[in-house]
Chains A and B, each alone.
Chain A
Amino acid sequence: MSDYNFAYLDEATKRMIRRAILKAVAVPGYQVPFASREMPMPYGWGTGGVQLTAACLTPEDRLKVIDQGADDTTNAVSIRKFFQRTAGVAVTERTREATIIQTRHRIPEAPLTEGQILVYQVPIPEPLRFLEPRETETRRMHALAEYGLMHVKLYEDIARNGEIATAYAYPVKVQGRYVMDPSPIPKFDNPKLSDCAALQLFGAGREQRIYALPPHTQVVSLDFDDHPFVAAKAPHACDLCGDAASYLDEVITDDAGGRMFVCSDTDHCATHRATGHAGRLGGTEGAAA
């Protein structure tokens, strides 16, 4: 073990973060300012998520860390290792077995359960930021629930492109009140935000904001009656496990237009294959195209 406190942060800092979490849970979708600390990994690498995880971890927890849905991406490996070293907690790649899941850019395919905590890493917590760069303004807009600008933006998308041209970080409305950025998850994942049995926590370290969706919160993706929200994904099945319903990564396999599609959620893909399913290119690990 190390000279650092359990899960790296000192207890006073954890308490400060937990207070912010409690406030965030009490006001779903509201961005709570918190005194984010400098972490030993850079801003942009998930410092907000890491602080949330550190504040929530207990020695009995079993931690899963994913980036782009995968447990083996470099930054997921790095963050998992950080908590193994500083907290000595058990880790897992199984969504079902984890008590805390820290994620970047995805919600696991397997439904989450009560008692689980899903921690999101958030780069820009403010859904209105690219419409209004000033924090002083956007805070006022949230306070007054003044979201007309967002609807105008979505309408302009439709006028220009025929549909809402936002594919990830698709804005949602929480429990009929706050418009919230769900972090840069693909909009395919948006329906999983709503009525989720797990506690969902969002941490933006550099921007010093924490927000939350308590279990079973109602979350609606913004849309129009005549242009309803559609959760999109590549129109293919996974080439490894054959699942046609999971979110896919496109992998270029040669320079002559060859490509394959694989589940972005590595645990989901492995579990699917373990139960006897196989895709176009077989179900074995590292199958060749």
Chain B
Amino acid sequence: MYVAVKGGEQAIDNAHAWLAESRRGDVAIPELSVAQIREQMALAVGRVMAEGSLYDADLAALAIKQARGDLIEAIFLIRAYRTTLPRFGASRPVDTGAMAAIRRISATYKDLPGGQVLGPTFDYTHRLLDFALAAEGEAPVAPQAAPVGPVPRVTGFLDREGLIEPEPACDDPPPDLTREPLDLPAGRALRLQSLARGDEGFLLGLAYSSQRGFGRTHPFVGELRIGEVMVEVEIPELGLCVAIGAITLTECETVNQFTGSKTQPAQFTRGYGLVMGQSERKAIAMSLVDRALRWQELGEEDSGAPVQDQEFVLMHADNIQATGFLEHIKLPHYVDFQSELELVRRLRASAAQEAAE
């Protein structure tokens, strides 16, 4: 019995009601508050802010709640919200050198001015399920130390000796990926912008592939720092800069194998990663991918590795674009499918006819 498909509107409303009910889960279990997610799922909140390109922990936590913990769905909610916001202006470039670091490590020096500050890291935890967390109880209080002040950059030490390629300051206004269509080939500023909001998993896979030989970059983590930086805005009417808040950033600077020639002595090269929130994995991956994408300007060979191919990397790094296009194939395609059905039937019929003749 064929019944013409009608009532799509009612079906959609009902599906949304079911979704809302499923999101809440068992009502006998207390509901999560946005503040609980913000405080206790901080790394998820950070990822949603970074890839959503909007620094607002409360909105990110709300998005995670609404998305039932699906982080890409939460990132999508933030992106769709972000695009409706008016733009009042741009901040001054943030100074990560003046960062109040909660974590700052270098893999290239055993000790260095400012010291190795481990901070809240998983690095040396034993990955044993902590069943004490299943029982409710207060977390132990960590011992306190004086906050770390601004610490010098590792790349700065190398720079003073001329051992690393210089990174001259530049006052050009950075391009804006969200206001101009991506134009290829893209300069480094645009590439970094794209990578900063790119999918963590995609960058991780690319960076890993470069470590395994598909576009080798041989990086050392010169420095990894996490902490708050001030965001300052210039108010032309007042003629001064006003701090409007602080944001947490993760910054990774890699020191990579050198280039050099008879005329130019050998020098280390740089890879750079900067991510909103606390995300070392993403920042390190980003710095490896950044470095790999610089093969041309550094006179390296194109080994044909995916990580060296900026069109491949930039066109596929955005998880909202990727998941949209991937998942859209579940939408109705019966018109197209019908046309292929007819084609395949026709081709088979003419093949059968030819075989019979």
**Which listed residue, A43, A81, A161, A163, touches B320 by the CB 8 Å rule?**
A43
Report yes or no: B8 in contact with A72, Cβ–Cβ below 8 A.
yes
**Contact yes or no, A45 B335, CB < 8 A:** no
Most buried by B among A43, A240, A248, A253: A43
| Cβ < 8 Å to A, chain B residues 71-93 | 76, 79-80, 82-84, 86
Write out the residue numbers on chain B whose beta carbons fall within 8 Å of the beta carbon of A37: 83
- Quick check: A74 and B11 within 8 Å, CB to CB? yes
> What is the chain A residue whose CB lies nearest that of B52?
A38
> Shortest distance in angstroms between A48's beta carbon and chain B's nearest beta carbon?
11
* Interface of chain B, main secondary structure: helix
A253–B1 contact, CB under 8 A?
A: yes
Q: A38-B82, A250-B338, A253-B1 are in contact. Are A206 and B321 (CB under 8 A)?
A: yes
In the complex the two chains form, is B343's CB within 8 Å of A232's CB?
yes
Judging by beta carbons under 8 Å apart, are A33 and B79 in contact? no
Top 7 A-B residue pairs of the complex, sorted by shortest distance between their CB atoms: A44-B328, A43-B324, A167-B339, A42-B324, A186-B339, A33-B181, A44-B324
Contacting pair A73 B181 (CB below 8 A)? no
| Chain B residues whose C-beta falls within 8 Å of the C-beta of A266 in the assembled complex | 4
Assess whether A165 is in contact with B328, with CB atoms less than 8 Å apart: no
Residues of chain B at interface, number, CB under 8 A: 52
Report chain B residues within 8 Å CB of A77. 8-9, 12
Interface check B21, CB cutoff 8 A: no
Q: Is the CB of B3 within 8 A of A184?
A: no
* B-to-A contact residues, CB < 8 Å: 1-9, 11-12, 76, 79-80, 82-84, 86, 178-185, 311, 315, 320-321, 323-329, 331-336, 338-343, 346-347, 350
Closest chain-B Cβ to A223's Cβ sits at a distance in Å of: 15
User: Could you tell me if B324 and A105 are in contact, using CB atoms closer than 8 angstroms?
Assistant: no
Of A55-63, A147-155, A213-221, A281-289, the stretch lying at the interface with chain B is: A281-289
Q: Is the CB of B2 within 8 A of A287?
A: yes
CB contacts (< 8 Å) of A67 on chain B: these are: 331-332
CA distance A105 to B332 in the complex (A): 10
Cβ–Cβ contact B333 & A105, under 8 A: yes
Cβ distance A154 to chain B, nearest Cβ, rounded Å: 14
- With a cutoff of 8 Å between Cβ atoms, the chain A residues found around residue B83 in the complex are 37-39
Q: Are A134 and B321 in contact (CB under 8 A)?
A: no
A33 to B332, CA, bound (A): 27
In chain B, what residue has the closest Cβ to A170? B339
Contact between A262 and B4 (Cβ–Cβ < 8 Å)?
Answer: yes
Expressed in whole angstroms, the Cα–Cα distance for A289 and B178 within the complex equals 52
Whole-angstrom distance between the alpha carbons of A208 and B340 in the complex? 28
Least Cβ–Cβ distance between B10 and chain A, in angstroms = 9
In the assembly, what is the distance between CA of A81 and CA of B84, in Å?
Answer: 19
* A78: Cβ under 8 A from any B Cβ: yes
A168 interface hit (Cβ, 8 Å): yes
Check: A233 CB closer than 8 A to any chain B CB: yes
Q: How far apart sit A206 and B331, CA to CA, in the bound complex (Å)?
A: 16
- B345 nearest in chain A by CB position: A234
B340 in contact with A167 (CB, 8 Å) = yes
Residues of A within 8 A of B179 (CB): 35
For the A-B complex with A135-B315, A206-B321, A208-B181 known, give 15 more contacts whose Cβ atoms are closer than 8 Å: A4-B84, A34-B181, A43-B324, A45-B328, A75-B331, A77-B8, A162-B347, A163-B346, A168-B340, A184-B333, A186-B336, A206-B325, A232-B343, A233-B342, A234-B338
